[in-house]
Structure formats: structure tokens, C-alpha cells
Structure 1
Amino acid sequence: MTQLTKGANVAVPSDAVNIVVTWTAAPQAPTVDLSTLLVTATGKVRDDSDFVFYNAPQHASGAVRLGPSSPGSASVEAHLTGVEDVVERIVVVLSADGGPFSQVPGLTVRVDDATSGQVVAQFGDMGATSETALVAGELYRRAGAWKFRAVGQGWDSGLAGLATDFGISVDDAPEQPSSSTAPAATPASAPAPAPALRPAEPSQGEQPGSDTSQPYAAPVSPTPAPLQPPQQPSAPQQAPLQPPHQPQAPL
């Protein structure tokens, strides 16, 4: 078994692997969920169907699916021969509910050979602090073979922020009240609700694990200046008329 540090990688010896995440479950510790993103060369997913999580536990290709989970353990199964050619990375994502990852004791990611059951590699020192979502590691293609890389990159913006950075559509717009409960009048100064967040267009060569993208804020329309009546040109000033010069009589 290979002990990995952040950024290190190891060759995957089998076409079928299990990525197993373990931690010490405690009454006051946050709940940890595992999900995966199937990412192309753009560094983003093709669409929302490339996000495998508890509400969509298996990818349409059948190559990636969530495995068994229990308090203190979660897993994902990857059958690498079935992964579509356009997919270059299978990103292993963890999210914490109820606190940051600094409050999750004993967090460890393990790579198991699904055929033999042998432990291939283990990664345990992620250095997480205030993050509530992180990329624990990723399976990726290199020269026709698959490898696993220990990543440990965190997001303070939670799973929604992480997913948005990888191209997932996130709708955070607040619900509108029904007409029966709506207030009689809305002050003119009340701000309009922000629109649903949409991810940025994918840029070529973007690397996974980057958290530099910022969510789009609601556009603010500038307030037009009040119309002013055109200024009337002032009449030119005329010099006062002088009486004609009278010649003096000779003395």
C-alpha cells in the first residue's frame, strides 16, 4: 500500500476500483457525504448528468456509481473500461453538513482494487480547516492508463460553490410567496431577488480543484439621471447707445 501526500499520485493496477472514505463518526461531528464529477478536458462536466450523488447514485454510462455507506464510511465504485473517452477525470468530492472539515476527525481516502480487494493507496492528511466541501482526490487518464491523485482542495462556499466551479447549474433563487401571503405593498427600495446562479462558460485548459471562479451576482441596472430642460441661450449684451458728439462753438 502506498501512503500518499497532497499532490502525489499512484498508478491504478486494476480496471475496477473502489474509492472508500472513512472518518470517525461522533455525535457532534458534521455529517459527510460523498459524490463524484465526471470531468472532460475543459475541467468541467458536460452537463448535470455527470454529477453522481445521493439523488442520482449512478452515471448513465454505468461506469461510476455510489457504493455502500454507513456512519463513518462512504464509497464510490469505478469501472474504468466503461468510462467514456471524453471523460478525463473522475473527481471524488466530499461535503460536510453541520460544520467544517476541521471538525471531522480521522478523515481518510483509500483506493481499493475491486477485483482482489487489495488496498492500493491511502491519503489521510488533507489539511482541511474552514472548508465545507473539498476534492479529496481524482482518478485521471495519463498515457492511456489510469492513475489516482491525492488532491485535498477545499471550498468555503460548500458543495454548491464547488459544483458551480465544475460546471453544474445551481439554483439558489429564493422562493416567491404566494398571492395569499404576499404583503399588500412592497417598499420601492426593497432589492429584487437574485437570479439563479449559472456557471461560467468553460475555459480551455482549466484544471480541476481551482476555486478562483466567483459566482455571478445579480446585474445592477444604473439609475438614469433625470432629464434636464435644455438651457436657453442668453441674449448677447449690447453696449449702451451714446449720443452723437456735438461740435463746440468757436469762442
Structure 2
Amino acid sequence: MLLSKGQKVDVTKGTNVSTLSLRFGWTSTVPEMNIDAACFVLSARNRCEQDEDFVFYGNPSVYHGAISHQQMDGHGTVKQLIQINLSQIPQNAAKLAFTVTIHEAEKHGYIMKNVSNLYVTLVNNERNEEIFRFDYGTDLHKETAIVAGELYRHNGEWKFNAIGSGFFGGLAALCTSFGLEVEENPQAQQELPLPLEEKSLSTIDLRKKLVQITLEKKQLTHLTARVGLVLDISGSMRHLYNNGTVQEVVERILAVACKFDDNASLDVWVYDSEFSRLSPATEADFHDYVQKQIISNRSIHKFGYNNEPPVMKDVIKKYTKEEVSSLPVFLVFINDGGVLKSIKKVITEAAVQPIFWQFVGIGHSDFEVLKKLDTMEGRIVDNANFIHIDDIAAISDETLYNLLLNEFPQWIKEATELRILRT
């Protein structure tokens, strides 16, 4: 089976496969360039919880051989292997992320444009049978690292997500993105701890670069906008707050705000039957934002039933009455189902305001109301969009940013023509 970028396939469902190998291949146009495959063992927080959860040439085996890295002799098309015994992987390992990086790329000026024919195959070791092949990387240029794909748990089985997303900053950037504190020592060529503040900023910097790439694709690099985030905190969202998913959402949307917003801050609201307007999230204080500003904040009403119109009206109040500006507003609204039909009236009346509502439905609800936003009549302009993501923790940053910013450029164009936005 040949996979396409973004495709997700079952690996163990309906089979008896338990031992696998991922076989990585590539062709380099620069003979002296070194390329390495690696595996990050991630928890439900999408983080490596310990240094040993990083499997690469310097740490080639973990969990008594459950995951191991092997370099080939260089004569065949397969350059490196990662062997996996699924039955021996600890239950707290939710995902395995597989990466390919250029060693010391920035130092020598190497980029992914120097690499071609990138592929990974997943092989059933027991039968020596190829399950699928994923060719990727043809759209990469100046990047120095790639997340090729992920094996992840789903309903008691393992699935594979074909990602093929490029990153800047090489291996160090990926390590910080996955929660490891590393720094390359130019003399000892070893990885040493970084202060927590540097690690946090590096994570945001990586995501800002991905946002920048998305903005370039959508021709939005010139745009300045205010960015807001509304978070559902009804009872059904409790586990997403407790397992770190909502914190991850804040960090990912903050990267958008850092590229768009004139003061590089993210306005945040939470709501259930009541709502709270929180202190903005910034690069300086985003670490543990959810724990400090939401979960530990006793003044915030939490885990009740949902009621959207009041928080939506407060968003409109802030941006159109309290802080009047000619800048557009990009408002991301996270919800896991059960939206009240009365939001239609709020959105319709807000169509004359410089606010674009990007609703994100997470989980397995039917989202009947939100699915009808694009066909809702009675508005001067289509000022809202809806995307549905089953598992927001499993989707790559690159895919998320492309989805979030898909309809925003068209609204900017139409709102400017209708003089809702004034240049």
C-alpha cells in the first residue's frame, strides 16, 4: 500500500502483527552529509517524559529492546532501521513519532533540498512482509528536519499517521518540541540541559516558523490581526484539561498570535454555563498557563453544562466597544459538541463586525449546528468556519495551521471589499 500525506491506516486491527520494523531510505546529493532517523516515545501529553524516551544512534535501545535503532551498511537503499516490539511498549506510551534530521545542518548549510527519494516502509517482521510505503519530502526546501510519521494507539489498536512535515532547527528543535531539554555542545558534541525558559521559547519558535510557512502559502505575511481563543470548559472537557491537551492547544494557537498579533499576545476566554475572560497568554508566561490560570483558579466556573452566546457577546464587546481598532480579529473557538442553536443569531449579527470566528470541533459529537455555519443565510459576509478534528493531540502542527487559516484569507478579502475592514 502506498500512503499519501495525511493518510491514517490501521496497523494491528484485524491482524496478529506484533513486531515491526520501519525502514528509512533517502538519497543525498552531498556525499559528506549525515542523515539520521530517530524515534520519540511520547506520552498522552505529546511529550517525552524522560530522556530515555528518545531512540537514536546515541541511545539505540530502550525498554529492554522493545524499540531499537540500527544503521545499515550503506550498500542498499535502506539506510536505517527502527525495530519495534509492540507487546513490550509500556502502556503510558501513547505515540511513537519517527523523524529524519540532517546532522549539523545549520553549521554546514545543508537543507532538505539536498535530499531526495525520502521514504519509509513499515514491515511485518514475522512475515518479512511490507505493510505500506510512504514517499515524502518532495515539497521540502530549506527545512532541516522531518517528522515522517507516527504510530499511535487508537481504541486498543495501533494506527500509523503519514505526516511528512518539515521543520527548521534540526534535531535540537524537534527535541525541544517533544519536551526534551537539549543543547549541542560544539566542543564535546554532546547534548546538555537547557534552562526551562530557553526550552519553552524554543518550542514556540519552532511553531512560529511553521505558522510563517502557512502564512506565506496563503499570502498573509503582510497581515496584522488580533488573535483570541475561546475554550470550552464544560464537563465533557475535563479529561482534556487534565491530560495536557488544552495546554497544548494554548501553545499552538499562541504561535499564531505571535505572528499575527501586534503585541504578540493571545486573548483567552473559558466557558461552560458561565464564562471568564483571562489574562492574555504570551511567550513569557505560557508555560503551565492552563494549570495556573484555569485549573488552579477557583474563581473560574468549571465543568458544568455549555452556554455559548454569553462568552461570544463578551468577545464582541471586547473587540468592538472596549478596544476599538481597525485590525481584524481571528477568533479560534474550541468546543467538543452540544453547541446551542442560539449562536446563529450572534454570528449573524456579528457579520458586520471585524471578527472572523474559526470554530474547531474536537471529539466524536455530530456538531450539527456548527456544520451549517457556511450555509447560514442572512449575513452580509460569511464570517465563520468550522473544522472537525477527532483527536486534536494527534494532528501535526502543520496540518492544524493549514486547517485553521484555510478560510480566513477569503474573509479578509470580502470584508475589506465591503468596508467591514478599513485599510
Q: Determine if the TM-score, normalized by the shorter chain, exceeds 0.5.
A: yes
Q: 8 Å contact 2:113–2:140 — kept in the other structure?
A: yes
Relative to structure 1, the CA distance from residue 24 to residue 49 in structure 2 (aligned partners, 3 Å threshold; closer, same or farther) is same
Q: Which of 88, 99, 119 is residue 93 of structure 1 equivalent to?
A: 99
Letter in 1 for 2:164: G
Q: 8 Å contact 1:35–1:92 — kept in the other structure?
A: yes
2:45 is equivalent to residue 49 of structure 1: no
Q: Which of 67, 72, 83 is residue 69 of structure 1 equivalent to?
A: 72
Which residue does the alignment assign to 2:4?
A: 5
2:37 is equivalent to residue 38 of structure 1: no
CA distance in structure 2 between the aligned counterparts of 1:118 and 1:64, rounded to whole angstroms? 19
The Cα of 1:93 is off from its aligned counterpart by 1.1
Which residue does the alignment assign to 2:382?
A: none
CA distance in structure 2 between the aligned counterparts of 1:174 and 1:3, rounded to whole angstroms? 40
Letter in 2 for 1:6: K
Which residue does the alignment assign to 1:146?
A: 158
Is the partner of 1:160 in helix, strand or coil? helix
Q: Which of 143, 160, 167 is residue 131 of structure 1 equivalent to?
A: 143
Q: 8 Å contact 2:23–2:82 — kept in the other structure?
A: yes
> Can you give the 5+ residue segments of structure 1 that lack an aligned partner in the other structure?
176-194, 218-251
Q: Deviations over 1:214-233 (max 9, x none)?
A: 9x89xxxxxxxxxxxxxxxx
CA distance in structure 2 between the aligned counterparts of 1:42 and 1:88, rounded to whole angstroms? 9
The Cα of 1:96 is off from its aligned counterpart by 1.2
CA distance in structure 2 between the aligned counterparts of 1:29 and 1:6, rounded to whole angstroms? 29
Q: 8 Å contact 2:112–2:141 — kept in the other structure?
A: yes
Q: 8 Å contact 1:29–1:104 — kept in the other structure?
A: no
Q: 8 Å contact 1:170–1:197 — kept in the other structure?
A: no
Relative to structure 1, the CA distance from residue 174 to residue 22 in structure 2 (aligned partners, 3 Å threshold; closer, same or farther) is closer
Q: Deviations over 1:27-57 (max 9, x none)?
A: 4473210111100000101111101111110
Letter in 1 for 2:70: G
Q: 8 Å contact 2:29–2:114 — kept in the other structure?
A: no
Q: Deviations over 1:154-201 (max 9, x none)?
A: 2111110111110111135787xxxxxxxxxxxxxxxxxxx9353349
2:164 is equivalent to residue 161 of structure 1: no
Over the matched positions of the two proteins, sequence identity in percent amounts to: 27
Q: Deviations over 1:55-101 (max 9, x none)?
A: 11001342100134233511100100100000011111111135111
Which residue does the alignment assign to 2:316?
A: none
CA distance in structure 2 between the aligned counterparts of 1:118 and 1:174, rounded to whole angstroms? 42
Letter in 1 for 2:8: N
Q: 8 Å contact 2:136–2:148 — kept in the other structure?
A: no
1:186-201 correspondence runs (5 A): 196-198=194-196, 199-200=199-200
CA distance in structure 2 between the aligned counterparts of 1:153 and 1:64, rounded to whole angstroms? 23
2:121 is equivalent to residue 110 of structure 1: yes
The Cα of 1:120 is off from its aligned counterpart by 0.6
Letter in 1 for 2:47: K
CA distance in structure 1 between the aligned counterparts of 2:136 and 2:37, rounded to whole angstroms? 18
Which residue does the alignment assign to 1:185?
A: none
Relative to structure 1, the CA distance from residue 67 to residue 203 in structure 2 (aligned partners, 3 Å threshold; closer, same or farther) is same
Count of residue pairs the alignment pairs up: 194
CA distance in structure 2 between the aligned counterparts of 1:20 and 1:174, rounded to whole angstroms? 30
- In the superposition, the TM-score normalised over structure 1's length comes to 0.69
- In the superposition, the TM-score normalised over structure 2's length comes to 0.42
Is the partner of 1:24 in helix, strand or coil? strand
The Cα of 1:132 is off from its aligned counterpart by 0.8
Which residue does the alignment assign to 2:132?
A: 121
CA distance in structure 2 between the aligned counterparts of 1:103 and 1:197, rounded to whole angstroms? 33
Relative to structure 1, the CA distance from residue 174 to residue 25 in structure 2 (aligned partners, 3 Å threshold; closer, same or farther) is closer
Structure exhibiting the larger radius of gyration computed from Cα positions = 1
Is the partner of 1:42 in helix, strand or coil? coil
Is the partner of 2:52 in helix, strand or coil? helix
Q: 8 Å contact 2:63–2:89 — kept in the other structure?
A: no
Q: Which of 56, 78, 86 is residue 84 of structure 2 equivalent to?
A: 78
The Cα of 1:5 is off from its aligned counterpart by 1.1
Which residue does the alignment assign to 2:22?
A: 19
> Can you give the 5+ residue segments of structure 2 that lack an aligned partner in the other structure?
188-192, 204-241, 259-282, 285-423
Give the number of the structure whose residues are more often helix, by fraction: 2
CA distance in structure 1 between the aligned counterparts of 2:243 and 2:4, rounded to whole angstroms? 29
Structure 1 window deviating more from structure 2 (115-124 vs 92-101): it is 92-101
Relative to structure 1, the CA distance from residue 131 to residue 197 in structure 2 (aligned partners, 3 Å threshold; closer, same or farther) is farther
Q: 8 Å contact 2:172–2:183 — kept in the other structure?
A: no
Letter in 1 for 2:244: Q
Q: 8 Å contact 2:57–2:70 — kept in the other structure?
A: no
